[in-house]
Amino acid sequence: MKTEVTGLSTDNTFATGDLLFGNFTVHGIRDKWVNNWVQTQGDCPNCVFADLIRDTQYLGQYPNPFYQAEAIYFDHGWEFMGHEGDKGGFLVLVGEDKGNFYSFKEGTRGGISTSAGYAGEIGRVDVTGNPNLFTSDFFYGFREKWYASYGGFISGGIGYSTSMSGGQPVTAISVQIGFGLNLWPLSGGYNQGVIEKR
């Protein structure tokens, strides 16, 4: 099946040319990649990838979950009755750190939930203010997190966290999949934690 990716840019400057990735066709992005590469003279190859992730509005007929995000992240770790310990990384999609990848660790100060287990998650990070002011420092620090999951030994869920950095609200939304013990098929939790560099 052939999948087409459209809606990448409202700027007609880049509305010509397609890129083919196996069964995926990306409309109107080839020239943007080339222009970005020329402008950076190859100093930031990940910036091209960051632009593709952030500026692609649709993946075929489905909305891109990372469209206009300031960063994307993934992590994995344990959770026990609201407490968790994770390790992961994030890619900055905009601002002075665009294209750079950073690692982190996350621990909790307190929390409560109805589950215990091991899980991985992938999500997006957004700021309420000017996205061009976003730096990797916005990701670190104190945060509050709410999450819910459904399933038995294997479960899937969603997470939502909030924090403040540089005077701007920062939010993160994620999807999670893991295995463990749940008191009920539908479970949830809340905790407070700190994200640190590692």
What is the model's pLDDT at position 167? 87
Separation CA 12–CA 185 (nearest Å): 49
Distant-in-sequence, close-in-space partners of 93: CB < 8 Å, separation ≥ 6: 50, 51, 53, 54, 66, 69, 70, 71, 72
| pLDDT tens per residue across span 137-156 | 999 999 999 999 999 899 99
What is the per-residue pLDDT for 45?
80
What are the boundaries of each domain within the chain?
Answer: 3-63, 71-197
CA distance 162 to 80: 21
Cβ-based neighbour number of residue 62 at 10 Å: 9
CATH number of 71-197: 2.40.128
Predicted confidence band of residue 38 (pLDDT cuts 50, 70, 90): low
Q: What is the per-residue pLDDT for 44?
A: 81
Check if the beta carbon of residue 88 is closer than 8 Å to that of residue 73: yes
HSE-up of residue 114 (Cα within 13 Å, Cβ side) = 13
Contact predicate 187/148, CB 8 Å:
yes
The band of 1, judged by pLDDT with boundaries at 50, 70 and 90, is very low
Residue 76 confidence (pLDDT) above 90: yes
Backbone phi, then psi, for 47, in 5-degree steps? Answer: -65, -35
CA 120 to chain centre: 13
Tell me what the mean pLDDT of segment 183-193 comes to. 93
The pLDDT value given to residue 35: 61
Cα separation, 174 vs 27, in Å, equals 27
Percent of the chain with pLDDT strictly greater than 70: 78
- CA–CA separation, 65 and 58 (whole Å): 9
Looking at residue 133, the DSSP 8-state letter turns out to be G
pLDDT (0 to 100) of residue 15: 36
> What's the pLDDT tens digit per position in 47-68?
999 999 999 999 889 999 999 9
Between residues 85 and 26, the one the model is more confident about:
85
Distances (CA, A) of 119 to 8, 45, 66, 148: 32, 31, 21, 13
Spatial distance between the Cα atoms of 174 and 152, rounded to a whole number of angstroms: 20
The pTM score is: 0.79
Q: Which residue has the higher pLDDT, 15 or 196?
A: 196
**pLDDT band with cut points at 50, 70 and 90 for residue 3:** very low
Can you read off the two tokens belonging to residue 85? Answer: 């310990």
